[in-house]
Amino acid sequence: MSAISCSKTGTIYRNPNPHLRSIHAYFPWVVAMDNGELLAAIQLGEAFEAANARTYLTRSRDLGETWQLEGQIYSGTPDRLTTDLCRLTAFPDGEVIAAMSRGDRSEHPDEGPTNPENLGMVPLEFLVLRSPDYGHTWSEPELVDPPMAGSSFELCAPITPVRDGRWLWPTSTWRGWDGQLPNGLRMVAFVSYDRGHTWPEYLDVMHHPERPIIYWESKILELPDGRLLAAAWAFDEAAAADDPNQYTLSADGGRTWLPTRSTGLLGQTLTPFLLPDGRILCVYRRMDEPGLWANVSRLEGDEWINESCKALWGAGAADLTETSESMVHNFHVLRFGAPCITGLPDGTIFVSFWCYEECVGLVRWFKLKVD
């Protein structure tokens, strides 16, 4: 039986002067680079769904113990009211790729990004930004031409390189503000053969033909045996309730996938991470118990087997989530989520997530070891 231990905790960003100005931090994504530094992308804004929410970078030179805020990743859109956030991928020799979503709030400046009538999204673009020097300088955003028709797509995962040279961009379809959803509810992954300059194909990963299941926060891992593992938070719109987190496997590079199955984990914003011995660490917002939890699992063939779990933050606390029939309302009252898992050079595991503490939205981290 595996054991999860937590050695330290701290913050990547917390507003240093909340008595003077409202700045909340959300949606971290941290990468470890081959120069020994950690780079984090976080979203800063005056509220959870504020129209001034933008992507900022912060850097650590001591394996995450302390952080220095460096500013916005790019200058933004002076001609439009937009919000953005991104996920980072680090490559050797200083190359960092940012997968960004940018929502146009121009027609809905006094509303959140999702339509409370139909869960539709404001107009949204996917973009790629590139840094050749460990995130110090960045190219202008490159607009992505999606390989499938879709009103909007969720930014839920970083660009994931696989060993055959392809780049995969996991995502899920999302309705437009008017409710249009031309390809139905499904998890897909965009595919690039030229390091993210074009995305001519997509993999059809999860889709339920009989139930309206939204596959949020989907991720893809490449396993040691070459198979691809996909996992997602599954929300049944008709029942207005979460299913257990779902997973599926592909043995042919994503061309075909096994039927989706339950992980046995009842939660949201699931993030899986491949441990050195081939087991899987998941961190997620648990729904049958309060708080952010870590769980260790293993695959025996195609079977997902849970070994152990540990509460990291918020265990025993009340009112961290709500489960009303309106998912838009549930988004509004969230108090934590969106974990990122990063392996450090010293073998420890760095978990970051956003949460509210003393009425301030901040990005917190934990250092874990799994035996």
pLDDT digits (tens, 9 = 90+) for 98-134: 999 999 999 999 999 999 999 999 999 999 999 999 9
pLDDT value of position 150: 87
Which two three-digit tokens encode residue 107? Answer: 């027609």
pLDDT at residue 346 above 50?
A: yes
Average pLDDT, the chain: 94
**Domains located in the chain, CATH noted:** 4-370 (2.120.10.10)
Contacts (Cβ under 8 Å, ≥6 apart) of 290: 314, 315, 316, 317, 318, 320, 321
Percent of the chain beyond pLDDT 90? 92
pTM score of the predicted model: 0.94
Which two three-digit tokens encode residue 87? Answer: 């996920």
- Give 322-332 pLDDT, tens digit per residue: 554 544 444 44
**CB contact at 8 A, 67 and 59:** yes
pLDDT value of position 328: 45
Q: Is 170 exposed, middle or buried (0-12, 13-18, 19+ CB in 10 A)?
A: buried
pLDDT at residue 275 above 90?
A: yes
Q: Is 359 exposed, middle or buried (0-12, 13-18, 19+ CB in 10 A)?
A: exposed
pLDDT value of position 337: 92
Which two three-digit tokens encode residue 31? Answer: 């990468």
Task: Name the residue among 174, 181, 56, 161 with its Cα closest to residue 125.
Answer: 174
Task: Name the residue among 144, 230, 237 with its Cα closest to residue 187.
Answer: 230
Please give the average per-residue pLDDT across 34-50, as a whole number: 97
pLDDT value of position 333: 43
pLDDT value of position 320: 63
User: Residue 7: which pLDDT band, with cuts at 50, 70 and 90?
Assistant: confident
DSSP calls for 177-216: TT---TT-S-EEEEEESSTTS---EEEEEE--SSS-EEEE
Task: Name the residue among 53, 89, 83, 18 with its Cα closest to residue 342.
Answer: 89
d(CA 121, CA 230): 24
Instruction: Count CB atoms within 10 A of the CB of residue 333.
Output: 12
Contacts (Cβ under 8 Å, ≥6 apart) of 154: 101, 171, 172, 173, 174, 216, 217, 218
Backbone angles phi, psi at 365, to 5 degrees: -130, 155
d(CA 273, CA 281): 5
User: Residue 315: which pLDDT band, with cuts at 50, 70 and 90?
Assistant: confident
pLDDT at residue 242 above 80?
A: yes
- Give 141-192 pLDDT, tens digit per residue: 999 999 999 889 999 999 999 999 999 999 999 999 999 999 999 999 999 9
